[in-house]
Amino acid sequence: MKKCLHLLSILAFGLLASTGIVAQETKITGYLLGSGPSGTQDVLDALNFKLKADMGAKLELNYIGWNELGSKYPLVLAAGEDVDWVYAASWNGYATQAVRGAFKELTPEIIQKYMPRHWKATPSEAWDQAKINGKIFMIPTSTPDRKIPLAVIRGDLRKKYGLAPVTNVAGLEAYLTAVKKNNPAIIPINLGSGYDIGQPFFALLNNEVPPINFVFGGSVFGNYEDKAHSLVDILEEPYLTAFKKVANTMKSWYTKGFINKAPFANTVLSKQSFAQGKSAVGFGNSLDIQEVLSKATASGFDPEIIPILSRTGHSPADSHVGNGVAIAANSKNWEKTLQLLDLIMEDPDYVMLVYFGIKGKSYDLTPDGKLTLPAGVTPEKNPYPQDAAGFWFAKKDLFPPQATWTSGYIELRKKLKDILVVNTFVDFNFNPGKVKNELASIANVISQYMDPISIGAVSDVDKAVATLIAKLKSANQDKVVAELKAQLAAHYK
Amino acid sequence: MTTKILHNRQGFLFEMIRNGRLYAMFMPVAVYFLIFAYLPMTGIVVAFKDFNYQGGIWGSPWNGWDNFRYFIESGKLVQVTINTLLYNTLFLVAYLFFSILVAILISEMGSRLAKKTFQTMLFLPYFISWVTVSALVYNLFNYEYGLMNTLVKGWGMEAVDIYADPNLWPVILPFFYVWKWVGFGSVLFLASIAGQDKECHEAASIDGANIFYRIRRITLPQLKPTIIILLLLGVGRIMRGEFDMFYQLVGTNGNLIDATDIIDTLVFRSLVSTQDFGMSSAAGLYQSILCFVIILAVNGIVRRQDKSQALF
């Protein structure tokens, strides 16, 4: 009899569970970019323990590796199975994918209902920035990155050669000359492929032209401080002369051996090679440089920061859509997914867990509340270093200050509020659908004809620039600019 | 009716009844290819569609030849097609030549230990990914601290800027291709040589044939079927570039693009930021059609020479 009852209760439970009356854990699948550090599973276990108690959900986390980002990201969305949320950002084709119907449309009402914390923490302009044709397809971060591009140089070498402090990349010539002359083992600037390629060139160009920033892709610029949203063609006068001047400076640096000969084949970034003491200038931004600064300081390099700013002393602030999450169009549990995201984006305990890992294992707090590594853990051995796990959309205002910040870095952070200005193009999302063929050709022209100019690897600057202009013309750059202008006019009417 | 079919000895049903068991054994293979090779082929239509996620492959709107436009308008179509064809021909010839050479050398070695050692050493690069090879090559060739240039400078000569000289790459790329694949290729030929009748060699030796004569007259002629099959298989993918190799070793290097650009790298460079299924499928379709035409042509030539050697 007892056995019978037991059996019956199991049956009943099964029946209830299958009809959803007894709450089961809802499995929610998410995709982040990059690859999880070694401690990811431990953090995920801790996270799921909390999630089960708080909302009866279980997060399954997957990563789309950097090397397969371009191919796998659209594939994950196209497969459409078993994806609830995915990392989304303006720089990762948010507008393109949204137009193709990859993401679920969200409304302010939905956000208010399922993500009350995030709704409260996020200013209304963030939602405007996320709008594509008037509809919202992503949840932007409540705290955009406050970062600027910068270069770091070795203060110990600068002082050794008796040079004055450098405040601008254009003022590096004397430093580079001295390093080249006195340290045959050090390459003054050792650029890597990818991020580094355009850095010195555009740092120099910033001194010569109005405050410019890419409006779309690698070829069209806009003046980010101009309320009229004007485009700037740097390959036309009055800017062409400045462009050629900078190209000549780069060429002379390249010829003098200040820059490595083959950046395109070098997979080591300039900042990494700087931290290892193999080069004398590193490029990065004020967030990802922290690690480099602490390593360089430990090696006695006395790193000095040179902010890369426009002539006006400004840098465009990141938009809210620079980091965010989108809900997959076919997500079955989108309500629960939004609730879960509300926790990991805004709840202090959750944010610390997903961003810094488990206290005592991958981070610790000093008595005065600063972030530090637990005793016995070195930066190399940290199982869950900050930024590495890809939860970049979490609320960054909740992060404690860090014990490793150098005095120069703290000073820079104080200055940031005066440096960062609102990019006037920030709420504009270009829809490239009509000119995708032209954009493909232009991308090709940029890598073949612009990249060599920007590292200085051309024999004749005038000829190279003329070729670049001609090739852009035959790739129908004009058509892209016309389409861009039309969309800008429609957006800001 | 049935008798009529049975009497018709070429009929389909007759064939099925007579060789039913063989066909049954073939079924799993047929199903495999149907599912993994023939069904996906229908996805080719995406090359003619403006893909969106709601419609998927079948529901998205047609856009004619629009996806092919960038390919033609980039003005590089002819150049990359020629590059792809030339590089792959070079690779194929060098690969076959060195694989045969290595296989014969190893098979003629007397010591078993030497055989195994050389074979293992030559096979090793096969397991190294192109990413790793690219790091090796960079550390070998780079201008500032590369092994080669350090040696060159040590001898008092001028360092060579290899990554800026387009003329060197048609040599460097086949070299690394052969370096990576020769171990694998030689195994195929070694297996074929191992199957050859030893008595022929012994008889020839007794008759006074020296080692070179034996290789030329006995080993090589017997390798011909293997060579032709590998050649045809290689030709079948001759428009498919070794993307990993080009992308990792050369990178997106403006100065080398004209000399090292193949269809795959052009497509990658143009579309990596656009992420458009239709446009990349268009390029894939173009490659497939060219491959198809080329393999038909080469197979046709082989057929005319010797019907039994042709693939089909």
- Taking an 8 Å cut-off on Cβ atoms, the answer to whether B251 and A264 are in contact is yes
Q: Which chain A residues are within 8 Å of B274, Cβ to Cβ?
A: 96, 432, 436, 439-440, 443
| A187, closest residue in chain B (CA to CA) | B144
Per-residue confidence (pLDDT) for residue B1, from 0 to 100: 46
Average pLDDT score over chain B: 88
- Between B66, B76, B273, which is nearest A443 by CB? B273
Q: Which chain A residues are within 8 Å of B244, Cβ to Cβ?
A: none
By the CB < 8 Å criterion, does B273 face chain A? yes
Q: How far away is chain B from the Cα of A444, in angstroms, using its nearest Cα?
A: 5
The Cα A77–Cα A94 span in angstroms is: 12
Per-residue confidence (pLDDT) for residue A376, from 0 to 100: 85
- Taking an 8 Å cut-off on Cβ atoms, the answer to whether B53 and A78 are in contact is yes
Q: Which chain B residues are within 8 Å of A96, Cβ to Cβ?
A: 274-275
Choose the CATH number for A149-316+426-491 among 3.30.1330.10, 3.60.9.10, 3.90.79.10, 3.40.190.10: 3.40.190.10
By the CB < 8 Å criterion, does B279 face chain A? yes
Single-letter code of the amino acid located at B306? D
Q: How far away is chain A from the Cα of B139, in angstroms, using its nearest Cα?
A: 9
**Per residue in A179-224, pLDDT tens?**
999 998 899 999 998 789 889 999 999 888 888 887 766 678 888 8
Q: What is the pLDDT along chain A (493 residues), one digit of tens a residue?
A: 445 545 555 555 444 444 444 456 889 999 999 888 899 999 999 999 999 999 899 999 999 988 778 778 888 888 767 899 999 998 888 988 898 888 999 999 999 999 999 999 999 889 988 998 889 999 999 998 888 999 999 999 999 999 999 999 999 999 999 999 999 889 999 999 878 988 999 999 988 888 888 776 667 888 888 888 888 888 888 889 999 999 999 999 999 999 999 898 888 899 999 999 999 999 999 888 888 888 898 889 999 999 999 988 999 988 899 899 999 998 889 999 999 999 999 999 999 999 999 998 889 999 988 888 898 888 778 899 888 889 999 998 899 888 888 888 888 888 888 899 888 888 888 888 888 888 888 988 998 999 999 999 999 999 999 999 999 999 889 999 999 999 999 888 7
Question: Domain-by-domain residue ranges, chain A?
Answer: 23-145+320-356, 149-316+426-491
Q: What CATH number has the domain spanning B74-272?
A: 1.10.3720.10
The Cα A214–Cα A208 span in angstroms is: 16
Per-residue confidence (pLDDT) for residue A66, from 0 to 100: 81
Taken in order A6, A12, A15, A16, is the CA torsion positive or negative?
A: negative
| A72, closest residue in chain B (CA to CA) | B275
| B141, closest residue in chain A (CA to CA) | A262
- Residue B160 burial (CB < 10 Å; 0-12/13-18/19+)? middle
Q: How far away is chain B from the Cα of A135, in angstroms, using its nearest Cα?
A: 17
| B57, closest residue in chain A (CA to CA) | A78
Per-residue confidence (pLDDT) for residue B169, from 0 to 100: 93
Q: How far away is chain B from the Cα of A71, in angstroms, using its nearest Cα?
A: 7
**Per residue in A263-288, pLDDT tens?**
988 888 999 999 999 999 999 998 88
* Cβ pair A36, A67 in contact under 8 A: no
| Rounded average pLDDT per 10-residue block, chain B, 312 residues | 56 84 93 92 89 84 87 85 93 95 92 92 93 90 88 88 90 94 93 90 90 91 91 87 88 87 87 80 90 91 86 79
- Taking an 8 Å cut-off on Cβ atoms, the answer to whether B270 and A441 are in contact is yes
Nearest alpha carbon to residue A475 among B72, B9, B135? B72
The set of residues, in sequence order, having a beta carbon less than 8 Å from that of A109 and lying 6+ positions away, is: none
Nearest alpha carbon to residue A480 among A265, A228, A217? A217
Q: 3-state DSSP helix/strand/coil percent for chain A, to nearest 5?
A: 50, 15, 35
The Cα A359–Cα A382 span in angstroms is: 12
Q: How far is CA B57 from the centre of its chain?
A: 29
- Residue B300 burial (CB < 10 Å; 0-12/13-18/19+)? exposed
Per-residue confidence (pLDDT) for residue A426, from 0 to 100: 84
**Per residue in B244-262, pLDDT tens?**
899 888 888 888 888 999 9
- Taking an 8 Å cut-off on Cβ atoms, the answer to whether A451 and B272 are in contact is no
The Cα A310–Cα A171 span in angstroms is: 15
Q: Determine the Cα angle at A88 with ends A83 and A94, to 5°.
A: 110
Q: How far is CA B106 from the centre of its chain?
A: 24
- Taking an 8 Å cut-off on Cβ atoms, the answer to whether B254 and A80 are in contact is no
- Taking an 8 Å cut-off on Cβ atoms, the answer to whether B138 and A265 are in contact is yes
* Cβ pair A36, A389 in contact under 8 A: yes
The set of residues, in sequence order, having a beta carbon less than 8 Å from that of A283 and lying 6+ positions away, is: A149, A150, A151, A191, A195, A196, A199, A200, A269, A270, A271
**Per residue in B32-48, pLDDT tens?**
999 998 998 888 898 99
Per-residue confidence (pLDDT) for residue B7, from 0 to 100: 57
| CATH code 1.10.3720.10 region(s) in chain B | 74-272
CB contacts < 8 Å between A and B, how many?
130
| A100, closest residue in chain B (CA to CA) | B52
Rounded to 10 degrees, the C-alpha dihedral A29/A31/A35/A37 comes to -50
* Cβ pair A162, A356 in contact under 8 A: no
Bridge partners, residue A285, by sequence: A149
Q: Which chain A residues are within 8 Å of B137, Cβ to Cβ?
A: 265
Q: Exposure pattern of A165-195 as b/e (b: 16+ CB <10 Å)?
A: ebeebbebeebbbbbbeebeebbbbbbbbeb
Strands A364-365 and A324-327, bridge-based pairing: unpaired
Q: Which chain B residues are within 8 Å of A441, Cβ to Cβ?
A: 70, 73-74, 270
- Taking an 8 Å cut-off on Cβ atoms, the answer to whether A100 and B53 are in contact is yes
- Between B164, B252, B275, which is nearest A73 by CB? B275
Q: Which CATH class is domain A23-145+320-356?
A: alpha beta
Q: Which chain A residues are within 8 Å of B141, Cβ to Cβ?
A: 262
The Cα A381–Cα A374 span in angstroms is: 11
Taken in order B221, B223, B225, B228, is the CA torsion positive or negative?
A: negative
The pTM of the full predicted model, rounded to 2 decimals, is 0.82
- Taking an 8 Å cut-off on Cβ atoms, the answer to whether B274 and A443 are in contact is yes
Query: Looking at chain B from residue 71 to 100, which residues have their Cβ under 8 Å from any Cβ of chain A?
Result: 73-76
Q: How far away is chain A from the Cα of B106, in angstroms, using its nearest Cα?
A: 36
Q: Which chain B residues are within 8 Å of A449, Cβ to Cβ?
A: 254
* Cβ pair A320, A144 in contact under 8 A: yes
